[in-house]
Structure 1
């Protein structure tokens, strides 16, 4: 298997995983407007149930936006050689294999945290209200 084939296999797996995940999320979201089942009618308060369903809808919309953003960013990182750039940067800082690995993943995690912190803040303090 050539490196080109491996590259496209990884992209294919990422795309299939994303499609399946979004399809399953969609199937779950179709039932957000369902009424309380008859067996649980006396257990749940209708108003609290409606409020929880509204929260699920808002959270679903926002989570969908975040996952699409993350997917596009990951694919772009692959196609524009982002991982190769981070690897070169890591190797320019150290020659020790373990340190190179730690620096590589540290840069990836730092970048991920910088991009996702504002989104997590919005989800926690705006949607949770």
Structure 2
């Protein structure tokens, strides 16, 4: 293995260890009891349940991360990346198309390998703590739509990057500009075109709640076009709200 390969492996290990330390510190602090001053605010049973949930989620993330890291290392050290390249060169040798197929193949493989962990997280961990509302049909639909969207969006961005590196003399600068524009564009595209593929958006009718939201938004000078009710509870009972655009 060359020096660059060793540096990359060390960097991957360092990132994993850093995340491990951060999660450990988070667990250590989350196990502290509720201060007496807050006993009348926090329900102790719910607080203990939240601690257990955090531990379960953290351990699952640790197992998932460890497994994916080991798979990556084994695939690398056994020459898997090179074998994949040689295999795809029998299909095409056009640099841009080859790079696109190569990266998307790795993306799809990574998604499929991590799928069992996503299933366990949704139907075991979330179910155990009473949060899961996802049906098998919804889960399968989400996975298919997410994979197709990822292929389209990542494929589009990757194609742009590969073309830039193939033909531009200032590839890094131009790529930075392209990725920045792409990322900002997604911020505007997602609420209108992507999110509705997964959830229903129903405009909030005139009501006391809408009036209060509008009054507060005006008070803090926050401009908005509309307020929607989203059927997020069909997947999880976690409380949630967001603004975007």
What's the Cα RMSD here?
1.6
Following the alignment from structure 1 to structure 2, what is the Cα–Cα distance between the partners of residues 120 and 62? 10
- TM-score, structure 2 normalization: 0.49
Number of aligned positions between the proteins: 127
Note the alpha carbon deviations across 1:13-47, whole angstroms, 9 max, x for none: 11111111111111111123211234543332111
Q: Which has the higher contact order (CA 8 A, sep 6+)?
A: 1
- TM-score, structure 1 normalization: 0.89
> What is the correspondence of 1:81-120 to structure 2 with a 5 Å cutoff?
81-120=79-118
Structure 1: stretches of 5+ with no match in the other structure: none
What's the secondary structure of 1:35's corresponding residue? coil
What's the secondary structure of 2:55's corresponding residue? helix
Which position in structure 1 is the counterpart of 2:57?
A: 59
CA change 1:80–1:39 in 2 (3 A) is: farther
Which position in structure 2 is the counterpart of 1:44?
A: 42
Following the alignment from structure 2 to structure 1, what is the Cα–Cα distance between the partners of residues 65 and 38? 33
> Does 1:27 pair with 2:25?
yes
Hey, which of these two has a bigger chunk of helix by percent? 1
What's the secondary structure of 2:2's corresponding residue? helix
Following the alignment from structure 2 to structure 1, what is the Cα–Cα distance between the partners of residues 41 and 89? 60
Following the alignment from structure 1 to structure 2, what is the Cα–Cα distance between the partners of residues 37 and 124? 32
Following the alignment from structure 1 to structure 2, what is the Cα–Cα distance between the partners of residues 86 and 56? 38
Following the alignment from structure 1 to structure 2, what is the Cα–Cα distance between the partners of residues 43 and 103? 54
Following the alignment from structure 1 to structure 2, what is the Cα–Cα distance between the partners of residues 41 and 85? 60
CA radius of gyration, larger in:
2
Which position in structure 2 is the counterpart of 1:12?
A: 10
CA change 1:41–1:5 in 2 (3 A) is: same
